[in-house]
Amino acid sequence: MSLVALLLLFVASTLAEAVKEENQLHISTTRHWVNASICCPIGWSLVKLNMGFFRSDVYECRNVFHNDDNSEYIGNIENKTEIFERTAPVYGYRIQAPAVDDGGNYSGEVPQCKRQTFVFLTGDKELELPANTCLTSVDRRLAAIYCPPARGETLQTLSVVHKCCPLRYVYDADNQKCVQRAGVQTFQRYGYLLQQWSIFVDGTVQCASDMVLVEYNLSGKEVKFIDGKVAIAVRSEWKKFKQSEYCMEAIEGANAWNDLAEQRYLVRTCEPRRVCQGIACIRRCCSDGEFFTKANKTSYCKRDEADIGFHSFESLQISGNFTKPAGKFTQLIAIS
Q: Tell me the residue length of the chain.
A: 336
137 forms beta bridges with 88, 142
pLDDT at 149: 93
Spans of the chain, pLDDT less than 70: 1-33, 65-79, 98-101, 103-107, 183-184, 253-261, 289, 304-336
Amino acid at 208: A
Q: What DSSP character marks residue 153?
A: P
pLDDT at 197: 92
Report the distance separating Cα 20 and Cα 24, nearest Å: 6
Asked if residue 165 lies in contact with residue 249, where contact means CB atoms within 8 angstroms, the answer is yes
Beta strands in 203-329 (DSSP E): 211-219, 223-226, 229-234, 237-241, 246-252, 264-272, 280-284, 290-295, 298-303
Measured from the Cβ of residue 114, the count of other Cβ atoms closer than 10 Å reads 9
Report the distance separating Cα 240 and Cα 221, nearest Å: 15
Strands in 223-226's sheet, in edge-to-edge order, are: 223-226, 229-234, 237-241
pLDDT at 279: 82
Report the distance separating Cα 301 and Cα 292, nearest Å: 5
- Sequence-distant (≥ 6) Cβ neighbours of residue 321 within 8 angstroms: 280
pLDDT at 310: 62
Report the distance separating Cα 110 and Cα 136, nearest Å: 10
Helices (H), the chain: 3-30, 70-77
Asked if residue 101 lies in contact with residue 67, where contact means CB atoms within 8 angstroms, the answer is no
